[in-house]
Structure 1
């Protein structure tokens, strides 16, 4: 009896040890019903709270929270304690029909039934009961009715069919922006076969690198870039992102110029130098608020314009901010900051940033203007380009390359983005 008790205790300890633990490092983190910002918020966890990770997908963690619910949190908002210890325990039902219960006793409510051969992800075992993942919650099955085995983590992730399996075959892709090109091949060099509009949905066929092969209304096929569409696992159009605070946003910061492209010239410094300093300070400010920040460059290197737009598109940026300092043919002709946008739907973001630059910045404000710039025109994400002063203006060039000026500008941009991502 003692030996059996020790054996069961040791087994339970091994099972419980398979779960990973992470600590929340943002003040409040939303727990969502799926691995993305398009999914509804089901609960919240707060700073320093510990949660258990079940699995990982696309920079999101599936977690079990304190009220026995299963949901998803953004990986960039947590600190890993045991980064690679997510559960790899799989249980197979061994009886014809087994009750799945809300708690670990036979008097508990029955949540549903599973049949012999069904495989479920096992969270842990205790006192004759096995806790499993079942729909959007955890549930319990008598340990005598399920065979639990350790399987390779990758195999479990890809082959185990749980009752809460959200990885149904993708059926639809939905276009995010008017004028989206559908091409004859998986490249921007291939010819355009059709132009789609925001909300148009097509049947998904397969993924080819960064492109999706889709079926058009007439039965022919074409390719669309994966960074301009959303995926849906059912026949309904994929939802758009539902960001409720800046900590959930992916923001691309683009430091203009770099490398052999020095940009405008002041008396003793180049534009590429001050754009990078401003970009680094802005990135640090946004990261301190929990935002997922991606920089197109973080050193003095040359980046092609198409690569800058691609970084934004490929990462599904919630905002793209391109930083520049201007110059004119005539010295001292103009002074101050200007905010540019290309797509009409981005004017609201441009207006908000411009208002805050006017409030926080010490230089004159020249307002919001339409700008036919490559990084805006070829960017399918919300994008603005900021000219933060004129390097051939005597007043501006004395101001812009100072820590005080950069701090003021950065705070203005941060406040604007914080307002933009707050409903």
Structure 2
């Protein structure tokens, strides 16, 4: 099933008397996850490593968000090593205004065996993966805000908002860079998407295995434009 059709299917499957969207209102906090780091370089290009590109892009996104008044939490701010579990822990413990909600954006760089592979894509979690939203580790703030919802309801709405954000990022990117291949929104069994309770996306910015894309992703102007695109998509929610 295409992701757009899956989006509609999720809406249709929600119970008729479902409570209002728990992720309504404004995004208050954005958790930014710069993929890899430290002893884990990620994918290797001819001149740069994935871990360095993801951190530079994450920092550009942080600056753009803070200029617009968003709260920002970084899973890493330097070349440190974090496990996937630690990244999820940072996200799940992030503070946010009670009248708003947080989102999670993970930045990664793609790679392939062929230099011809190129393009931009965004991942959301697979719909058949359930996140345990409310358990013994849930903070008092989360319990207060979301205890009226079932785990199934919270997961359904997480999927809906995540899909909306991913689609918005792709749409804004395609408008800004019409000549770069758009690979679209995909779903995957990815740890950081399965392990975070808030709406979450993983952005694959481009292919480091493509010399052209590697050079473009290293440009500060491109990184700033990408940050603007992601923020625009957040504001479109």
Q: Same fold (TM over 0.5)?
A: yes
Between the aligned partners of 2:87 and 2:222, the Cα distance in structure 1 is 26
Q: Secondary structure at the match of 1:413?
A: helix
- Residues 1:305 and 2:84 aligned together: yes
Name the counterpart of 2:124. Answer: 341
Point out where structure 2 has 5 or more consecutive residues left out of the alignment: 1-13, 96-100, 128-158
What is the distance in 1 between the residues matched to 2:189 and 2:229?
24
Deviation per CA, 1:154-208, whole angstroms, max 9, x where unpaired?
xxxxxxxxxxxxxxxxxxxxxxxxxxxxxxxxxxxxxxxxxxxx99xxxxxxxxx
- Take 1:340 and 1:283, find their aligned partners in 2: how far apart are those partners? 20
Aligned match of 2:213? 396
- What TM-score results when the alignment is normalised by the length of structure 1? 0.41
Report the alpha carbon displacement of residue 365 of structure 1 after superposing the two structures with TM: 1.3
CA distance in 1, matches of 2:176, 2:216: 14
* Mapped contact 2:46–2:211 kept (Cα < 8 A): no
Is the Cα–Cα contact under 8 Å of residues 359 and 412 in structure 1 kept in the other structure? no
- In the alignment, is the contact (CA less than 8 A) between 1:333 and 1:393 conserved in 2? yes
Q: Is the 8 A contact 1:363 1:389 kept in 2?
A: no
Pair 1:358 & 2:137 matched: no
- Distance in 2 (alpha carbons) for counterparts of 1:260 and 1:286: 28
Aligned equivalents of 2:219, 2:21: Cα separation in 1: 43
Determine whether 1:296 maps to 2:75. yes
Name the one with the larger strand percent. Answer: 1
Asked if the contact 2:104–2:201 (Cα under 8 Å) also holds between the matched residues in 1, the reply is yes
Q: Decide whether aligned partners of structure 1 residues 347 and 242 sit closer, same or farther in structure 2, where only a CA change above 3 A counts.
A: closer
Report the equivalent of 1:322: 106
Aligned to 1:80: none
SS of alignment partner, residue 318 of structure 1: strand
Q: Does 1:266 align with 2:48?
A: no
Structure 1 runs not aligned, ≥5 long: 1-197, 200-236
| Aligned counterpart for 1:287 among listed residues 60, 63, 66 | 66
Deviation readout 1:87-112 (Å, 9 max, x if unpaired) = xxxxxxxxxxxxxxxxxxxxxxxxxx
Work out the CA distance in 1 between the residues paired with 2:163 and 2:117: 23
Larger Rg: 1
Asked whether the equivalents of residues 308 and 375 of structure 1 are also in contact (C-alpha less than 8 Å), the reply is: yes
Contact 1:338-1:354 within 8 A present in 2 as well: yes
TM normalised by structure 2 equals 0.71
**2:17 is aligned with 1:240:** no
**RMSD over aligned Cα atoms:** 2.2
**Cα distance between partner residues in 2 of 1:413 and 1:338:** 13
